[in-house]
A and B are shown apart, each in its own frame.
Chain A
Amino acid sequence: MQSIETVTTQGRRRAALRRTIIGYSFLTPASTVMILFIFVPVFMAFYLSMFEWDLISPMRFVGWQNYARIFGSSDFYIAVRNTLYFVLVQLPLDFGISLGVAMLLNQKIRGLSFYRTVFFTPVITSTVAVSAVWMWLYDPFDGLFNYLLELVNLSPIGWLNDPKWAMFSVILMTVWKGLGYNVVIFLAGLQNIDSSLYEAASIDGANSWQQFRRITLPQLSPTMYFVLIMGVINSFKVFTQIDVMTPGGGPLKSTMVIVYLIYMRAFNSFRFGEASALSVLLFLFVLSLTLLQRFFLEKRVHYN
């Protein structure tokens, strides 16, 4: 004979089981899509990186040869250097300018929503369209930038056509385009800071630099951490504007970043194995950078 206790426990278990099933069934649509279109391709990339495959001829197992080939070719090192250049120049520029703009927009000034709209518009504009417009601005013959340089008696620049300037030109446009996104996130972070902190500080006689250093920065650190992590990942993934503005990898391969190299290997040379191996390397690279950032930075992040 069952005791009342066991019956209720069973009932509770059954209820819990039902809840679990219902929970998973709600998750199923999203996770199916994720598994099919994200996780399976990710594992396929690992698998394919061991093969030589042009889609047309049969797959041929080559082991680690694709990796050996990548490390033995100059293209890989050029792409790594270009990617690092992009990340190391674009990220600080974007970070600094967007924080500054966010602090300006955090003031009580007139026409605030107008300015916010202005800064956010480039973010929602298609990258391809923006790239096309900037290509006109950068035009070496009759672009606006060279016209302005001419007005102040400076010699014209080749911009996207000059191996020395091409990457910087792409970065400039990327910063302009992405600025608004980080501005909005920083703004949200700034508005979350309790105004009583500033009031107390100013009563104690803290000047605005001290207020920024001692209140704004620590209080904003979770936001900054988020912006940094996302920024690093996005910078490593840069592709569209590179493909549109400097097709083929730019003059002397000066804008050939890792993702572009992957694209070229796969869809231009039809070397899917080598392209997959490159993607695996990029994945490991971004993963280890993110872990490093967590390790070194997260401790400094101040959560309320």
Chain B
Amino acid sequence: MKRMLVLSLVLALLLAGVSTAMAEKVTISFWYAIGGNAGRVFQEMVEEFNAASDSVFVDAVYTGNYGETAQKVTASLAANTLPDGGLIPAAPLFTGRVGNYLIDEYLRGPKGLDMDDFYDEFWNYNRYDGRIASLPFNNSTPVLFYNKDILTQAGLEPKAPETWDEMVEMATQLKEWAAAQRVRNFTPINMRSQDWMLKAFILQNGGELMNEDYTASLINESAAVEAIEFWVSLIDQGLMPAGVHDRARDQFIAGNQAFLFDSTAGIGTIAGTVEFDMATAMLPGNKQRAVTLGGAALTMFPSTQEKQDATWEFLSWLLTPENVASWSAKTGYVPVRKSVLESDEIQTLFAEQPYYKAAFEQLEYVVSIEHFWELGALDDYLGQLINNVEYKSLTPQEAADKLVKDLADDIARNE
């Protein structure tokens, strides 16, 4: 009996000790919007952090895809039920827009990050109204995938085009080859996420998407309109199908398409599925090389000083060179720190999966724009513009003028 009592006392003391140790940890709530393999990798990183840290516990919750998470964050902003931090899409809109620049303050504080090791354009992507409002983490860029087998069969050298002209030349030869060989359902070129790709084409032609203070779109100026005209010419020459961009990846995987413009985030899926000899390359350029940037971002929401410090500890841990390297190697997201490109992990990845090399090495050509409130509208209008020019309901100039006007109306309305 006595022994039992002692035992239970010891147990109670032990439990109390454990619970006080737990209580000392600051728990922060964290939302993330990436599922699938990347989601699992992220969850593992959270567990690793929680095991290693004796002061912070991260309670990470998957909140659905980008669209669902954006809706959730919007609703919680209105209802004041935000988490402490998150890996969320369009993060600068949910922070900078309401005057939350906590990230900028921590970044420049005593525990800040070595900002020079990150690509400038990645910082730009995380700005709202000129100030940094979130941190780059899971970013992707468009990349050119090509089917080497088809190129060889058609009597072409199995390498990627470097310029628009080269691409048109190769695609025309492929089209003629397919017609002569009666290849069923063959498409030379197609692009997934077409609005994102058109942005890259506009930048490659020296055009600009927005003016410097983000108050007007410049898509109806000649360099941009020329890029749209080039896009339409691909369709007119039968080198790219109109309106079926959502099928681009499947058609490429099925071996019916020579060139695919798709996100670097798709490399894992595509490389793991195709049954032919495939390669990736930098996007072809015209007046210059340029690639656009996509992805969600890490951010922080206002809370107690203690929780904010804890959140920063977690965010800056995610962005150590080692973690950026392993995150990138395990998921295929582009490494956001320059130094990481030389790391062993990334070099091993290149050796095992050479597809990532082109994707990561084109990062110096990334051109990005800041987040501004009407960015979502700009993307929608770009989608409509592509629709209008591909189905010939408007000319490129008319469609571009319409976009500029619609966006101007939106901007005026939100002021």
Contact = CB atoms under 8 A, between A and B. Distances in A.
Interface string A195-237: 0000000000000000000000000000000000000000000
Interface of B: 71, 74-75, 77-78, 94, 97-98, 185, 241-244, 247, 251, 254, 256, 376-377, 380, 383-384, 387-388, 391, 393, 413
Interface string A240-262: 00000000100111000000000
Given A163-B391, A267-B71, A55 B77 contact: yes
Given A55-B75, A56-B74, A251 B391 contact: yes
B243 A251 contact: yes
A174 interface: no
25 contacts: A55-B75, A56-B77, A56-B78, A56-B94, A56-B97, A56-B98, A57-B97, A139-B247, A140-B241, A140-B244, A141-B185, A141-B244, A141-B251, A142-B254, A158-B243, A162-B243, A248-B380, A248-B383, A251-B387, A252-B393, A253-B384, A253-B387, A269-B377, A269-B380, A270-B74
A83 interface: no
DSSP majority for the A interface?
loop
B401 to A, nearest CB: 15
Contacts, number: 48
DSSP majority for the B interface?
helix
B78 A55 contact: yes
Given A52-B413, A56-B78, 20 more contacts: A55-B74, A56-B77, A56-B97, A56-B98, A140-B244, A140-B247, A141-B185, A141-B247, A158-B243, A161-B242, A161-B243, A162-B243, A163-B391, A248-B383, A252-B388, A252-B391, A253-B384, A269-B376, A269-B380, A270-B74
Nearest to A62: B413
A28 interface: no
Interface in A156-175: 158, 161-163
A211 B399 CA distance: 59
A253 B75 CA distance: 28
Contacts of B391: 163, 251-252
A268 interface: yes
B81 to A, nearest CB: 13
Contacts of B185: 141-142
Contact of B376 (A248, A252, A253, A268): A268
Contacts of B393: 252
Contacts of B241: 140
Contact of A141 (B71, B98, B256): B256
A141 B244 CA distance: 9
A267 B68 CA distance: 10
A269 to B, nearest CB: 6
A205 B185 CA distance: 60
A141 B243 CA distance: 12
A41 B93 CA distance: 27
Nearest to B93: A56
A268 B241 CA distance: 27
